[in-house]
């Protein structure tokens, strides 16, 4: 069994229902996530633009007036 399988594929191969397989893989994913090493971020970052309201480039006042 490879690592890149859907829950439906895993359920079929193991003879389980999809809901049981989903519950088991969810627990597995949560456990892997909780045991991963924490990332240590440092230094400066740079980004070009921040969109608070998609498509309006931060001009939320203009959007509020139209609504």
Q: What is the mean pLDDT of each run of 10 residues along the chain (67 residues)?
A: 80 93 91 89 79 61 66
pLDDT of 4 reads 76
pLDDT of 44 reads 85
pTM value? 0.50
Identify the CA nearest to 6 among candidates 22, 28, 17: 22
Q: Compute CA distances 2 → 6, 10, 17, 27, whole Å.
A: 10, 10, 19, 18
pLDDT of 38 reads 87
pLDDT of 48 reads 79
């Amino acid at each position: 069994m490879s690592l890149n399988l859907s829950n439906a594929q895993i359920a079929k191969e193991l003879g389980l229902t999809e809901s049981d397989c989903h519950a088991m893989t969810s627990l597995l994913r949560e456990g892997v996530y909780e045991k991963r090493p924490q990332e240590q971020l440092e230094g400066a970052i740079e980004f070009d633009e921040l969109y608070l309201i998609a498509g309006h480039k931060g001009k939320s006042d203009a959007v509020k007036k139209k609504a």
